[in-house]
Structure 1
Amino acid sequence: MARLKLFRPILAGANLRDRLLACIGALVGIVLTGLICGLAASDTQHLLWLVPPMGASAVLLFAVPASPMAQPWPTIGGNTISALIGLVVAHNMPISALAAGIAVGGAIGVMSLLRCLHPPGGAAALVGLFAGASSSYAFPILPVGLNAAVLVGCAWIYHRYSGHSFPHVAAAPPPTAKELPWTFSKADLAAALAQTGETFDIDVNDLERLLREIEQRTLARSYRDLDCADLMSRGVISVRLSTPPEEARALLVRHDVRRLPVLDKAGGVAGVIGLRELAGSGASLRELMTPAATASPQTPAIGLLDRFARDRVHAVFIVDDACRPIGVVTEADWLAVLTRGLA
C-alpha cells in the first residue's frame, strides 16, 4: 500500500478519472495540432509541424485547466512572445549559455508584464534562440503561435465534454453575512497572501470560493446538532388578514418586533408585515403584506444563515405541517448563539 501512495496525484482535487481523461485529451490534442499545422507547412517534409513546448502546454491545458497559467492568452501569448524574445536574442548575439539565460529570463519578465506567464514559454524562448539568426521573424507565428492556437482550440472542444470549464471562470463564492465575526474579507485574503510571500498557482477568486466553502462546512460541523426547534423563540405574535393596518402597526411598536406573520382563516402563514410595508398605500394587510420566510422545526439552523445574508430577511417563522407558526428565529437569535460559541 505504501508504494501505491507514490502514484497518487500531488495536485489538490485531482483524481484518477481526471488524470486518465487528461491523457486522452492530450493525445488527441497533440495529434490534431500536429496534423492541422502540418497542412500549413510549406515544406512537405514537415508533415508533423510541432515545436517541443507544445508537449508542456498540453499538460497544463488538459491536466490543470483551472490554472491561471493554462488559459488561452497565457498559452498563446506566452509561447509566441517567448519564441520572439529568443529569436531577437539570436539575431543580436552568438548562441551561448549567456544568450540562453537572457532569452529565458527576458521571456519570464515580458510574460509577467503582459499577464501571460506560461511555464512552457521558457522552452519556447530556447526554441526561438536555437532557431538562430537564419530564421525569419515569422517563426514565432508559424509554427509556434499556430501550434499554440490550435492546441487551445482542441482543449476548448475537449473541455466542453470533460466537465471542466475552459477558459476557466471562477464560480461566485457562497454568500456570507459580513457582520458575523467568523467571516473573512477580501482584504484579509490579500493581506494573508502578501504575508506568506509565496506565489500559488490558483486564481484568487477560486481561492476565495474554496475558503468560503471550507468556512461554511466548518461552521456547519460546529452547529450540526442545532435545528430550528432548538433556536426558535415561541409565543409568536401574529395578526389576521382581517386585522386593520392601524392595529398591526400598534402591535409592532408595542412589542418592538420588526415582522409579524399574517395568518389566513386556517391559521396558516399567508405573509408577513412590517412598518415598512405599513407605510405604503393599501386598505388591507392582504394588499400590504410580503411573502414570509418559513422553515420547519427540523431544518438545520445553520441553513438559515444564507437566508439572512442573501435574502436580507430579518425573521424566519418556524411552522408546523399545516403552515401554522410555532416559533420564530431572528438574526439576534443566531448572533447570540455565535457569540456563545466564540466566547
Structure 2
Amino acid sequence: MIPITWIETLKPNFKVLSLKERGLSGIGALIGLAISSLISWYALDGINAWYIAPMGASSVLLFAVSSSPLAQPWNMIVGNLIAAIIGVSCGLWIADPTFSFSIAVGLSIFLMMTTDSLHPPSGAVAITAVLGGDAVHQLGYYFVLYPVLLNSTLLIAFALFFNRMIGRQYPQPSQVNQRSSDPTPTQRVTIQPKDIEYALEQHTELLDISQYDLQSLILEAQQHANHRLSLSGKCADIMTKDVAFLDENDDILHALDRFKQMNIMSLPVLNEAQQLVGTLALSDVVEWFRSTTEIRSPWQDQVKHIMHRQVVMVKPEQNIADLIPYFVEKSFNYLPVVGEDRKILGIISRSDMIAVLYQNLSKA
C-alpha cells in the first residue's frame, strides 16, 4: 500500500467532475459576469462603482457548486444585502478601517447565519463597503441598492437561466416528498428525514450540503447497497482489495510485529510473484515459540517454515452464500479471493459476512 503524502492529506475529499461539467461551470461564470457587468455599466452610467469584485466569488458558487445551500438565491440576495448594510454602517460610524471592516464581517456572519442566508462572498461585500474608496463612500446606503442589489439580481437571473438550460436543478427543492409531509415509501422502510435531522443535530458545525441532497444521496446509496449486498451477490462485490499480507521469506519477528501492528489474528502469505502460498495465524507463532528449545536461532526462521500451505480459496465470481459454512461451521477468520493465476485479489473477512447477513436480515 503506497503511503499517503502529507500534501494529499491537505486535499478535500471532493468529487472531480467531468471535463464537460468543469467547462460548463467556467463558461457559465464567464458569460454571467460579462452580461451582468455590461448591464450594470449601462444602468449605472456615471457611477464609478458599477461592479464589485465579490460577484466573482459568488459566480464560483452559482456556476460550479449550484447545489450548495450557500449558492441558493435567498443566500446570495439576503446575504449580500445584510453585508452591504452592515458594511456601510460600520464605514460611516467607525473611523478606524481595520476595526471597521472586522466588525462588519463578524456581524454580517452572525446575522447571515441567524437568517439562514450565509453566503461566503458576502464577507467581501462588507469589506468593499468599508474599503471601497471614495466612489463607494459617496454612495452611502445607495451602495446597498446599486451596485450590490443590482449586481446580485442580474447574476442570479443568469444563473437561473444557465443552470436550467444545461440540465441542472437550480434553485434546489426544499423537500423530497412534494405530495405529502409524510415520509416517502422508501424512507418509511429505510432512513427517514427525522433520522437525517437527528444526525445533523449531533454536529455543531455547518455542513455545506442541504438536507434534501443528503437524503437523496443516502437513499440512492442504500438502494445500490441493497442490490449489491445480498446473498445472491458475488465475492467480488464485498471483498477487501487492499490486502494486508506476509511474505513467505519474512522472519517470525517481523510477523509478530505485523500481528501486533494490525491487531489481527491471521494473515495470508504470498511469494515473490504475489501468489497465495499459505496462511499464518498468531496462534501458530505462539505454538512455535512455546516448542522451541533454542532462543536465538529459531527467531531467524521464516514464515514459510511454520505457515499452513493448505488454504481454502474462493473465486471473485463465486456466490456469497457459498461462504457461510466456512465462517459458521469452521470459524474461519477470512477467506482469500484469488484469480486464475493464484494471485490474491482480495479477502472476505468474518466482519464482511456479518455485514451482508445483517443487511439481508434488515430487508427481510
Alignment size in residue pairs: 225
Query: Could you tell me the TM-score, scaled by structure 2's length?
Result: 0.56
SS at 2:34's partner residue?
Answer: helix
CA RMSD, 1 decimal: 3.0
Partner of residue 33, structure 1: 36
Residue 17 of structure 2 aligns to a residue in which SS?
A: coil
Counterpart position of 1:214: 221
Select 1:189's aligned residue among 179, 187, 196. Answer: 196
Return closer, same or farther for 1:28/1:125 CA change in 2, 3 Å cut-off. Answer: same
Distance 1:77 1:169 in 2: 18
Deviations, residues 26-74 of structure 1 (Å, cap 9, x unaligned): 0000000110000111317x5x921000000000000011111111111
Q: Which amino acid aligns with 1:25?
A: G
* Residue type of the alignment partner of 1:161: M
Matched, 1:81 2:94: no
Evaluate the alpha carbon distance shift between residue 340 and residue 66 of structure 1 in structure 2; reply closer, same or farther with a 3 A threshold. closer
- Equivalent residue number for residue 96 of structure 1: 97
Corresponding residue of 2:64: 63
Aligned residue among 190, 205, 208 for 1:201: 208
1:107-159 superposed Cα distances (whole Å, 9 cap, x missing partner): 11111222211000000000111246543211111111100100001111111
Name the residue aligned to 1:271: none
Q: How far, CA to CA, are the matches of 2:149 and 2:117 in structure 1?
A: 14
Asked if 1:111 corresponds to 2:112, the answer is: yes
Partners of 1:198 and 1:164 lie apart in 2 by 28
Q: 1:190 deviation in Å?
A: 2.0
CA shift in 2, pair 1:71/1:177, >3 Å: closer
* Closer, same or farther: CA 9–194 of 1 in aligned 2, 3 Å: closer
- Distance, in Å, in 2 between the alignment partners of 1:154 and 1:224 is 50
**Unaligned stretches of 5+ in structure 2?**
178-183, 234-356
For 1:166, what is the secondary structure of its paired residue?
coil
5+ residue gaps, structure 1, are 227-336
**2:232, 2:175 → 1: CA distance?**
30
In structure 1, C-alpha distance between the alignment counterparts of 2:80 and 2:25, rounded to whole Å: 21
1:163 to 154, 157, 167: 167
Contact preservation (8 Å) 1:83, 1:129: no
SS of aligned partner of 1:196: coil
Alpha-carbon displacement from aligned partner over 1:69-99 (angstroms, at most 9, x marks no partner): 1111111221122011100001111132221
Quote how far apart the aligned CAs of 1:224 are: 7.0
Task: Give the Cα separation in 2 of the matches to 1:84 and 1:177.
Answer: 43
- Equivalent residue of 1:176, what SS? helix
Q: Is 1:72–1:167's contact at 8 Å kept on the other side of the alignment?
A: yes
- Note if contact 2:97-2:131 (Cα within 8 Å) is conserved in structure 1: no
Q: Give, in whole Å, the separation in 2 of the partners of 1:192 and 1:29.
A: 37
CA distance in 2, matches of 1:12, 1:73: 26
- Percent sequence identity is 35
Partners in 1 of 2:74 and 2:187 — Cα distance? Answer: 36
* 8 A contact 2:230–2:359 mirrored in 1: no
The corresponding residue for 2:361 is 341
* Kept after mapping to 2: 8 A contact 1:9/1:15: no
Any conservation in 2 of the 1:95–1:130 contact (CA below 8 Å)?
A: no
2:150 maps to 146
Query: Contact 2:97–2:130 (CA<8 Å) still a contact in 1?
Result: no
Question: Pick from 42, 46, 66: which aligns with 1:43?
Answer: 46
User: Does the 8 Å CA contact 2:55/2:121 hold for their aligned counterparts?
Assistant: yes
| Aligned equivalents of 2:174, 2:18: Cα separation in 1 | 20
Task: Give the SS at the match of 2:218.
Answer: helix
Equivalent-residue separation in structure 1 for 2:81 and 2:144 (angstroms)? 5
Contact 1:95 1:129 in 2 (8 A): no
Q: Is the 8 A contact 1:19 1:63 kept in 2?
A: yes
Sort the Cα spacing of 1:157 and 1:186 in 2 relative to 1 into closer, same or farther, 3 A.
closer
The answer (yes or no) to whether the contact 1:86–1:103 under 8 Å persists in 2 is: yes
- Structure-2 separation of matches of 1:194 and 1:172: 19
Q: Which residue of 2 aligns with 1:176?
A: 186
What amino acid is aligned across from residue 99 of structure 2 in structure 1? L
TM-score by length of 1: 0.59
